[in-house]
A and B are shown apart, each in its own frame.
Chain A
């Protein structure tokens, strides 16, 4: 778990969602799990799918596709749950697939170009171009706002 202070590169986990590629810094990823039974929690927003039993810890799961307003995730063999650790919260996000860990040179990260009207916009912290791939850097704090009752 040593974080090599690599000023040049940002080590990220890459995942696919609705034909786009997104990245999250490795330091915020607790783990990547396969799909397991999700217990539904009533009276929560539609993107909150419920909770799972992650090695004895009850962990909430959200559907990232739904969160981005892009419909519901189809759950198949390649679907994964990425457990994200933010401050003292652990939350799992459902993604289509996740299988890459990359080093992105810090200087290749640019701020998101202003695109008016997309719900995604709040969640995007920047984009990076690597070879021919366009990798979208997520603003996790916005994506994972704690749920208050009655929402």
Chain B
């Protein structure tokens, strides 16, 4: 099909336009009198309509057209912006999104939008909308009217028609309507065409022949025919084809067609003027209403940054190739160390520097701004706040912070859950807030920032905080903690209890939350991304959920350690310190070997036992210990010796050995051998 190559572009751009619509509509709600915003939405809707009509997605075009009408009324001051009106527009945008997603998934993008269309229509005509607007609609519908412009011709086709009229051929425009329930439309089309080819020559058809073969049309299609036969004969013959219900034949002269062509061109030329004017107005009025946080103008145009769309698969392939390069770089380094050839050393060093730079660039290419995840939240918060009858303001800070794209894909759902949590359990209703001397409007802050090798995403609310007593009560009732331990638990520990499976203090299970399933899934998802979640809360004041995520996934820094003849890798992000201790420092507590480390009692884990390392047991006086942490807990991993720190490529163990205790993956060392990566979290109880 012609349009396939444009399909991807269509989907991408449609999504962008719909996102822009969403953002602008939200802003419009806050500033109902700002016509500039209405123009922005109108522009997006208009472009969307054009694109979808070109691609043949009639339902989308139709709905967008209706939206346009309403927006037009607003910007001409014939309609006022009310929350109810915006609700309907939001529903329309949602349905448009549904249709685009359907197309992206390979569907036809058809949806029964009659109800929304009707609602928009009512809004449009509810005030003094001119009747002309509605009759215009009728032409778009599927009736055959004799004088609508069915076909447009390019110059070549016009020339053909011209030449044939000089040779006394007639040109007809024929509209054929098939029966509604006609099953084999393509077959009927074929029969019609066959008949026409016998009578003359088919110049043009609308929709195109390919679309007709794919049955991508409703019931009517149009054909331009050059023939010497009289009109009535053509009509009669076509009516004989079964399942053809109506045939209209119009003879057209070349003058008519040329006039039509000119009209069409004029129309198209007129439109850009309109949109240009609109743009000028926008750029001037936008400078004023734009305040601190986010500018309403589309970022692409203003910043003039040149971007290019790259297929994600290509980035992945590039990444894979680069990983292999890193491995071989390591090998070259270890070979050059053995050979002691100065020229080789120099070259390898230069190569290492260059690959280091390349590494930074490639890893950064995979980075995507968290904004892509954050941008659906304002809408969600608005909806939820209305559903829960609470007043909530969402502040988004640091949306330009970048994350690896695989993390972005996964982090969306946990964040949705945490935000819903804040809204449902955290922020109190306006009455309670007022009674407690808080402002009626609750604030939820969504913050993202870099720190060290990690990205932090925080969700902070000024709500009721986590009720220690309630949480403990529930936890004890569910057997998660015992009543004796409870009083000695820190506030933070109590807060983190809510992340346990099955936990919920909500008395009523609402549609939004309360089932006790969400938070532990959030925790597992975050941990599976190599991150962690931290909660701090003050009763009556608010809560802060802090998520820490690694910047990149597949290349990590590790400490290589030796155990017998084997080499293992311990991720640097878990390591606090390395130390050498004496055998005599090892104490025994509850049958667990521990050491006193800077005043803390740290349990020792003898990796040679955990991993059944084959070796002759020797009585060592000194032990090398790697101190690792998981959240607040510490452990000391006892190894034979430390080899050194290195950046390695994380390799999966594959599906055959999918879960091995305390091993999270493997890597290939410079000498070509495989080393296993220790999963410290599994070793810290």
**A60 CB contacts on chain B under 8 angstroms:** 653-654, 656-657
User: Which one, A15-23, A46-54, A118-126, is touching chain B?
Assistant: A46-54
**Chain B residues, Cβ within 8 Å of A57:** 651
A131 interface hit (Cβ, 8 Å): no
Q: Cβ of B210 < 8 Å from any Cβ of A?
A: no
Interface membership of chain A positions 78-94, coded 1 if the CB is closer than 8 angstroms to chain B and 0 otherwise: 00000000001111000
Contact across chains for A41 and B655 when beta carbons are under 8 A apart = no
Contact A56 B327 (CB under 8 A): yes
Interface assignment of A102: CB less than 8 Å from any CB of chain B: no
Q: How far is the CA of A146 from the CA of B659 in the complex (A)?
A: 10
Number of A-B contacts (CB under 8 A): 82
Hey, which chain A residues are within 8 Å of B654, CB to CB?
58-60, 89-90
The answer to whether A53 touches B663, judged by C-beta atoms less than 8 angstroms apart, is no
Once the chains bind, are A58 and B674 in contact (CB under 8 Å)?
yes
Q: A41-B660, A88-B655, A150-B661 are in contact. Are A56 and B668 (CB under 8 A)?
A: yes
B673 within 8 A of A: yes
Nearest CB in chain B to that of A38: its residue? B674
Q: Are B673 and A41 in contact, with the CB atoms below 8 A?
A: no
* Chain B residues in 8 Å Cβ range of A59: 654
Complex: A61 Cα to B656 Cα, angstroms: 10
Residue of B nearest to A59 (CB): B654
The closest CB in chain A to the CB of B652 belongs to A58
Q: Encode contact with A along B476-518: 1 for CB under 8 Å, 0 otherwise.
A: 0000000000000000000000000000000000000000000
Instruction: Tell me if B673 and A53 are in contact (CB < 8 A).
Output: yes
In the assembled complex, A142 has its CB within 8 A of some CB on chain B:
no
The listed residue with most A CB atoms (<10 A of its CB), out of B327, B658, B674, is: B674
Q: Which residues of B contact A149 (CB under 8 A)?
A: 658-661
Q: Are B612 and A51 in contact (CB under 8 A)?
A: no
Cα separation A48 to B653 with both chains bound (whole Å) = 13
Residues of A within 8 A of B610 (CB): 42
Q: Per a CB cutoff under 8 Å, which of A40, A48, A52, A56 touches B657? A: A48
- Determine how close the nearest CB of chain B comes to the CB of A99; give it in whole angstroms: 26
Cα–Cα distance between A150 and B653 once the two chains are bound (Å): 16
B655 touching A44, Cβ below 8 Å: no
- Judged by a CB distance under 8 angstroms, whether A37 is at the interface is yes
Give B641-685 interface residues, CB cut-off 8 Å to A: 651-663, 666, 668, 672-676
Report the Cα distance A51→B666, complex, angstroms: 9
B597 contacts the other chain (Cβ, under 8 Å)? no
- Asked if B611 is at the interface (CB within 8 A of a chain A CB), the reply is yes
Smallest beta-carbon distance B203→chain A, Å: 47
B12 within 8 A of A: no
Say yes or no: B674 contacts A42, CB within 8 Å. no
Residues of B within 8 Å of A150, CB to CB, are 661
The complex places the Cα of A76 from the Cα of B529 at a distance, in Å, of 43
Q: Are A91 and B663 in contact (CB under 8 A)?
A: no
Whether B676 contacts A41 by the Cβ 8 Å rule is yes
A39 within 8 A of B: yes
Give every chain B residue within 8 A of A42 (Cβ-Cβ).
610-613, 660-663, 676
B229 CB contacts on chain A under 8 angstroms = none
CA distance A50 to B567 in the complex (A): 13
Q: Mark A140-151, 1 if CB is under 8 A from B, else 0.
A: 000010111110
Which B residues between 324 and 352 are near A, CB-CB below 8 angstroms? 324, 327
Q: Is the CB of A39 within 8 A of B656?
A: no
Q: Does A132 contact B (CB under 8 A)?
A: no
* A39 contacts B666, C-beta separation under 8 Å: yes
Chain B residues lying within 8 Å of A147, measured Cβ to Cβ, are 656-658, 660
User: Which chain B residue lies CB-closest to A149?
Assistant: B659
A43 touches B612 (CB 8 A): yes
Say yes or no: is B566 at the interface (Cβ < 8 Å to chain A): yes
Residues of A within 8 A of B611 (CB): 42-43
Interface string of A91-108 (1 = CB under 8 A from B): 100000000000000000
In the complex, which of the residues A37, A52, A56, A146 contacts B656, with contact meaning CB atoms closer than 8 Å? A146
Compute how far the CA of A148 lies from the CA of B659 in the bound complex, rounded to whole angstroms.
6
Docked pose: A53 CA to B666 CA in angstroms: 10
- CB of B482, distance to nearest CB on chain A (Å): 27
- Point out the residues of chain B lying under 8 angstroms from A53, CB to CB: 668, 672-674
Can you name 21 A-B pairs with beta carbons within 8 Å? A39-B566, A39-B674, A41-B676, A42-B676, A43-B612, A44-B660, A52-B674, A53-B672, A53-B673, A56-B668, A58-B653, A58-B666, A58-B668, A59-B654, A89-B655, A90-B654, A91-B656, A144-B656, A146-B656, A147-B658, A149-B661
If A41-B676, A58-B654, A89-B654 are given as contacts, then 6 extra A-B residue pairs at C-beta distance below 8 Å, sorted by A number, are A51-B653, A60-B653, A89-B656, A90-B656, A148-B659, A149-B661
Using a CB–CB cutoff of 8 Å, the interface residues on chain A facing chain B are: 37, 39-44, 48, 50-53, 56-60, 88-91, 144, 146-150
